[in-house]
Structure 1
Amino acid sequence: MLCSMTGYGEGEYADAQGYWKVEIRSYNHRYLDIQIRMPRELSLFEDPLRQKIRCCLSRGRVELVASREEFGGRKRRITLNEGLLAGYREALEELREFLGQREPLRVQDFLAFPDLLIVEEESWDRELIWASLEKAAEQALEGLVIMRRAEGEQLKADIIHKLKAVEGLIRSLEVRAPLLPETYRERLTARLAELVPDGITIDPERLAAEAALLADRCDISEELVRLNSHLHQMWSELKEGGTVGRKLDFLLQEMHREINTLGVKANDAVSTALAVEVKSLLEKVREQVQNIE
């Protein structure tokens, strides 16, 4: 089975303390690039999440966003910083005495000072939090993988359709290949007839030698053999499935190089037209392969 690198999944899970929502998106990328966004105080769970993603995915840019909503909010314990309060009180008493004021100090006089009240939030239950986050993340990953597989199968069907067309064009080039030397010989003979003055005889052996040289230059059999070999490997990789995106991309690059060489060597209108069609199809296939994991 082939997988696309594009997909989306989301997961939700509620426990006794709160509610998790996890969203995962993935896009094309040469390697596996994982980006995680979640509340800062829960960043200790990033590494376990990365491990889970690596177990499911091999390539792609992956963005995971996790958010948590507490039921009723976390409890907070507020205590008085008595030591700091004593320091502020002593300083205010000195200031009051220095200014000659007789009014007693009031609570309001201290409210503007920072850090007099210490707010402590109830600590996280790490085991409970991770158990809930893990379930939401697994649900999101499952949805992502399902979407990537579904799109991968659609890409595979389109690639197979185009490769069958490429295969047919290569068969046409194989039929055309043996005719190229004779075509060159006829072209050479006609050209010489135009250039050589009347009454001058052309040495048949020399003509045969030149024709043989041209025939060797226009021999596209090696390129056809390599094209068929690469195509056979493409079929094998598609049948095997898995993480074959890079292999397919490499094979397509090689096929593109071979068809370019073939088009130049053939120097024949029909063969060149066939080579152009093959090249066009290979480019379209490569566009699809760029999204294969």
Structure 2
Amino acid sequence: MVKSMTGFGRSIRSNEHIKVTVEVKTVNHRFAEYHFRIPRSLSSLEDKLKKTLNEYIKRGRIEVFITIDGEGLTTRKLLVDWSLIEDYLQNIKEIQERFQIKEGVSIKDILNRDEIFSIEEQESGIECIEELVLDALLDAAQNCVNMREVEGKALQQDILSHIEKIQSTVQALRKYAPTVVEQYANRLKKRIQEYVDQQLDEARIVTEIAIFADKADINEELTRLDSHVVQFKTFLNDRESIGRKLDFLVQEMNRETNTIGSKANDAKIATEVVELKSSIEKIKEQIQNIE
């Protein structure tokens, strides 16, 4: 099954206190690369989130956005440094006595000292939050996969149209290739007759034709192209990640086509090679976005 590497999924889970929103966005990438934008309190969940996503998405750049709204996520507690206050007041008293300052210390003076007070935050109900996050992630991942599958079908149809063009071109070349040797033999005999009045050396002509036929033989390349096309179609029905396999096959198809082009000593074959390379290039562009 062909899956695109472009997809998006979103899911929301909530209870009476909080709402969890999870978004999963994927784009094409050579490997599986994860990027999380989540609350710091959930950073310990990253490994578990990766393992969960890996069950659904095998390849691509995966971005995960998690937001949590609601009350009761954290509890805050005010901490007072009583010892520091005592030292502060004691020193103020000594300063007043030493310099005979009558002005007293107000509570406002104490409240303005940031170093005396601090706020401690503690997570609460983290187990419940994790459950909601994982549940929402599963749903968002499945929605993302659904979108990747829909786009994958469109990619598959386009790729198959180019594969069919390659097949028809290969069939046409297989029928036409033998005539190239015949045309060469006729041209060779005609030229020799134009410059030589005496009887033709048939043995020499046969040898020259045989040498040309060997150099111009493209049957092996055409057979391998056919084989690659069959493998390509087989991989398109595979349920595993197939992007890299298809990329390898396209490289091999391009290599065989280049060899045919280098052997071709014929204008029509050269034209068909251009068509082959055009179809292969279009397939290559499409499979860059296949998982």
TM-score by length of 2: 0.93
Q: Does 1:47 align with 2:47?
A: yes
Question: Could you tell me which of 208, 211, 221 is aligned with 1:210?
Answer: 208
Query: Residue by residue, what CA displacement relative to the aligned partner does 1:90-139 show, whole Å, maximum 9, x if unpaired?
Result: 23223333433111111122223223223233532121110111122122
CA distance in 1, matches of 2:255, 2:30: 22
Shift of 1:30: 1.1
Counterpart residue type for residue 204 of structure 2: R
Q: How does 1:13-92 map to 2 (within 5 A)?
A: 13-71=13-71, 74-92=74-92
CA distance in 2, matches of 1:139, 1:78: 39
Structure 1: stretches of 5+ with no match in the other structure: none
Structure 2: stretches of 5+ with no match in the other structure: none
Please, which moves more after superposition, 45-54 or 252-261? 45-54
Whether contact under 8 Å (2:159, 2:283) holds in the other structure is yes
Where 1:115 maps in the other structure, the secondary structure is helix
Question: Could you tell me which of 262, 276, 279 is aligned with 1:278?
Answer: 276
Shift of 1:236: 1.2
2:236 corresponds to which residue? 238
CA distance in 2, matches of 1:210, 1:73: 87
Where 1:23 maps in the other structure, the secondary structure is strand
Please, which moves more after superposition, 168-177 or 69-78? 69-78
Please, which moves more after superposition, 59-68 or 230-239? 230-239
Query: Residue by residue, what CA displacement relative to the aligned partner does 1:207-235 show, whole Å, maximum 9, x if unpaired?
Result: 22111111111011111111111111111
CA distance in 2, matches of 1:165, 1:3: 22
CA distance in 1, matches of 2:25, 2:192: 67
Distance 1:121 1:241, change over 3 A: closer
CA distance in 1, matches of 2:237, 2:133: 37
CA RMSD after TM alignment: 1.8
CA distance in 2, matches of 1:98, 1:38: 56
Distance 1:288 1:113, change over 3 A: same
Counterpart residue type for residue 221 of structure 1: N
Where 1:178 maps in the other structure, the secondary structure is helix
CA distance in 2, matches of 1:117, 1:234: 69
1:108 corresponds to which residue? 108
Please, which moves more after superposition, 39-48 or 244-253? 39-48
CA distance in 2, matches of 1:187, 1:101: 122
Where 2:55 maps in the other structure, the secondary structure is helix
Whether contact under 8 Å (1:180, 1:266) holds in the other structure is no
Counterpart residue type for residue 15 of structure 1: N
Whether contact under 8 Å (1:12, 1:19) holds in the other structure is yes
Q: How does 1:193-208 map to 2 (within 5 A)?
A: 193=193, 196=195, 199=197, 201-208=199-206
Where 2:217 maps in the other structure, the secondary structure is coil
Q: Does 1:219 align with 2:217?
A: yes
Shift of 1:239: 2.5
CA distance in 2, matches of 1:145, 1:86: 63
CA distance in 1, matches of 2:219, 2:156: 29
Equivalenced residue count is 291
Shift of 1:75: 4.3
CA distance in 2, matches of 1:206, 1:276: 34
Question: Could you tell me which of 208, 216, 229 is aligned with 2:227?
Answer: 229
Where 1:177 maps in the other structure, the secondary structure is helix
CA distance in 2, matches of 1:41, 1:13: 18
CA distance in 2, matches of 1:91, 1:45: 49
CA distance in 1, matches of 2:93, 2:115: 19
Distance 1:188 1:88, change over 3 A: farther
1:178 corresponds to which residue? 178
CA distance in 1, matches of 2:238, 2:40: 43
Shift of 1:266: 1.9
Shift of 1:191: 4.2
Where 2:115 maps in the other structure, the secondary structure is coil
Distance 1:161 1:287, change over 3 A: same
Whether contact under 8 Å (1:76, 1:122) holds in the other structure is yes
CA distance in 2, matches of 1:230, 1:274: 18
